[in-house]
Chain A
Amino acid sequence: MNIKQSYSFFKRILSKNRVLKRCVYVFILFVFISILAPFIANDKPLVCKYKGLWLFPVFSFKHQSIVNNEIINYNMAKDWKTLETDFAIFPPCAYSPNTIDADNAPRKSPFDNQTMTLKNGQTTSLPLKYKHWLGTTQNGNDVLSCIIHGTKTSLSVGIFSMLIAGLIGILLGACAGYFQDNTIKIGYIQSIFLLLSLFISYFFCFIIRANHLSEAFKEGGLGMFFQILLIIYIFIQNTFILLKLGKWIDEKLKTNHRFYFPVDTIISRTIETLNSIPTLLLIIALSAISKPSYSLLIIIIGFLSWTSIARLTRAEYLKAKQLDYVTSCRAIGMSNYRIIVKHILPNVLPLLLVQIIFGLAGAVLIEASLSFIGVGVPLNTITWGSLLNEARDHFSAWWLVVFPGICVFTLIFIYNKIATEISKIK
């Protein structure tokens, strides 16, 4: 299925189902908000004219500019709002998430009289364009701005972790379901070489490169992803080479004893073991042991939540293997790889997509829960969960409960609704 075909396919589905269409639109809205967050909520004006000079503070990467020998610091929120500009257009929400508005510091409700101090020391009520539409937090951060910038965290944690989980789950589930316990045969020498390859790969990945690994995991970010990819590559390469070598030796020695390799049993047992550990507890413990960062959280959620996808994939492949089209594929001598990827996968993908979207909702929930209890996430970023956490000690601050709560609820609801609607189509 190429891009044009799949586009028209999605268009057809969306035009049939009104609920699904609306949900997808709201999801796209979330995506746009997360991408355009710096332009929607920022304490710098989009455009301003100061002493005859046009400035575009949001779009520039500089931290300060000098206008007529006066230094304007882009980081100071107060400066921009009290600056006597000739002309200024602020974003719809005129605050950054980390801007601290000391005048409205301890939790101002949206309906309270919000004030601001002018340059000459006078206190006036806040003009409408600078208003905190959803109130402020304990420190004086703007809630609306925090919510807008928190969208990015929630969306990206969910999507990237489910990408990892989907890849692992579909790969392992397909192997378990298609090969089962009675398809792959390996010889004795080959099996010894398999163990040997695991041993050697473990040594080269974790013993020799121990320093690199610990450094990369301390720093987090892309270096960590690269190290993980490298580990996977070393394991696959070693296994591949040694298996071929073992097969060659087996053929040379003419050992006829071959036994079935229990792919299904191994993968099913792994799934069972991972399932029996409460995911949230394990994630909390893992992220407490290492330095909290979002890239690590994505990896942990991804590597722990593939089990449900793998289970479903395995069941679907088991079912598909009995069907006629797979039998005829095998009869004309197609390779296993081609049957698995090109023939069965497109047939079961919609079902797997449903499971992955449900998983997205779960990942969002995990991220929000962790930032709610304040464990395992970087504490300097304000997200939906951490806003709710602030309300725990002050119930009178209803705006800290209701707005971020509704955001988490909406995102999870949309994911769940999209998944159920897609599952109804078939």
Chain B
Amino acid sequence: MWPYVLKRILWFIPTLFAVTLIGFILLANAPGDAVDSLVMSSNSGGSLKTTQDIEQQKTYWRKQLGLDLPLFYFSICKLSEPDTLYKIHDETQLEKVNEQIKTTEGYRNYLPKIVWYGSSNQYHRWLFGGFNSKGIIRGDFGLSISKKEPVIVIIKDKLIWSLFFSILSIILAYAISIPIGIKIAQQPESKFSKSSQFILFLMYSMPSFFVGVLLLMLFANPDILSIFPPSGIKPIEGYYDHASLIEKFIVSVPYMILPLICYTYSSLAFITKLTATSIQEQLQLDYIKTAKAKGLSSNSIIWKHALKNSALPLITVFSTVFPSIVGGSVIIESIFTIPGMGLETVRAIIAQDYPVVIAIITLSSILTIFSYLLADILYAWIDPRIRITK
């Protein structure tokens, strides 16, 4: 088994690189000058009087953030361009230089060249660390522009909330839909299975934001029913002093019920259908007949024999459900104001805090890649045939 796992892990390294590259391209293309907004916001008191002071501050921050380096290991540019063009940051100046190059150099404007910069570049520094940065490989996602804190400090608590909700909702979805799926597989023509299939299909088509607002309107509305609190994840005054983890959890339960319904309901239909079809397939096979002939009860046949053999597609679902839940958290968290990564994304985009946005995207993609890896390894662990054939 271990050679298979190792091979899978090796295959995932290029994917990881590609994901970080996409994140970096987004970060490099973000509009506005990060240094400009940093210096301007710190200069709100008016401590920097002359433009020279401001320029000095800007060069300092540029050096601190590594923005004075070239973007990538190499760059493809015109033959006429000097290879130190990245050092000009002022846009009007850059335009002037470009104009000059365009008019003075003739045919050289239309020929390509490659410039090699080596490892002292922004991407390398961002990924592996370097001057003043540990790199995202060691968990350093840079500095948030609007909050002036390291991004990882901001994200850390939020990541825990998001992961908590997504994992809990996946467990809930499996716990609810596997029994329903089994029931449907046992009696596919019964009233229960027909009606439950129809209801699940309806739920599958409901957009999560509609369900979220509807739930809030019905159950957290002083005009109709005020059972649950409308927003947040804990009481406004916070937990009482010296509360243990379990006590905190119990206090937070009413806050969690509506979001959990919202997270869970949409994946129910999918998992139920898959369970039903794969168990139906298993029930046709000979070993089930043998088990019946041996006199085993129908419950033990399904739960002990058929379910184990139909576990494979259920694991596949895990790796498709997880990314959709991570993406869906943007909407659900902003409806219920859960302090998770989704809400932070919306806040960061409105505040134009791009390092935070990119950090969240990169981090959730890496998490998704690891969930794929986990699914692959679980596959091989459950079904030995996969290790041998692949």
Contact = CB atoms under 8 A, between A and B. Distances in A.
Contacts of B208: 369
B14 A416 contact: no
Nearest to B362: A277
Contact of A276 (B76, B110, B372): B372
A212 B207 CA distance: 39
Contacts of A280: 327-328, 330-331
24 contacts: A207-B78, A208-B110, A269-B14, A269-B15, A276-B15, A276-B369, A279-B327, A280-B328, A281-B330, A284-B346, A285-B357, A369-B209, A372-B331, A373-B209, A392-B213, A392-B216, A395-B217, A401-B210, A401-B213, A409-B206, A409-B207, A409-B210, A412-B207, A420-B201
Interface residues of B, number: 57
A401 B206 contact: no
A402 B218 CA distance: 11
B202 interface: yes
Contacts, number: 145
Contacts of B84: none
Nearest to B30: A289
Nearest to A362: B324
Nearest to B325: A278
Interface string B334-351: 110000000001100110
Q: Closest 6 CB pairs between A and B?
A: A280-B327, A278-B327, A405-B210, A203-B112, A413-B205, A273-B18
Interface in B43-79: 76-78
Contact of A373 (B76, B110, B331, B360): B331
Contact of B217 (A273, A276, A372, A401): A401
A199 B207 contact: no
Contacts of B14: 269
Given A207-B112, A276-B365, A278-B368, 11 more contacts: A200-B112, A207-B78, A269-B14, A280-B328, A288-B349, A288-B357, A369-B209, A401-B210, A401-B214, A408-B207, A416-B201
A269 B17 CA distance: 12
A290 B349 CA distance: 12
A388 B330 CA distance: 16
A46 interface: no
Nearest to A286: B26
Name the residue among A288, A361, A405, A416 with the largest chain B CB count within 10 angstroms. Answer: A288
B132 to A, nearest CB: 25
Contacts of B330: 280-281, 284, 369, 373
A281 B361 contact: yes
Interface string A396-426: 1010011001001100110011001000000
A277 B205 contact: no
A369 to B, nearest CB: 5
Classify chain A: how many residues form its interface, as a range: 35 or more
A396 B230 CA distance: 13
B372 A396 contact: no
B210 A408 contact: yes
B209 A368 contact: yes
A272 B369 CA distance: 9
A275 interface: yes
A398 B323 contact: no
A79 to B, nearest CB: 36
A326 interface: no
A33 interface: no
A273 B324 CA distance: 15
Given A202-B76, A207-B76, A285-B349, A278 B364 contact: yes
B223 interface: yes
A282 interface: yes
Nearest to A420: B201
A285 B361 contact: yes
A426 B109 CA distance: 58
Contacts of A405: 207, 210, 213-214
Contacts of B204: 416
A391 B217 contact: yes
A303 to B, nearest CB: 12
B315 interface: no
A158 interface: no
Interface string A250-287: 00000000000000000001001101111111101110
Contacts of B360: 281
B115 interface: no
B223 A373 contact: no
B29 interface: yes
A202 B74 CA distance: 14
A125 B57 CA distance: 64
Contacts of A391: 213, 217
A187 interface: no
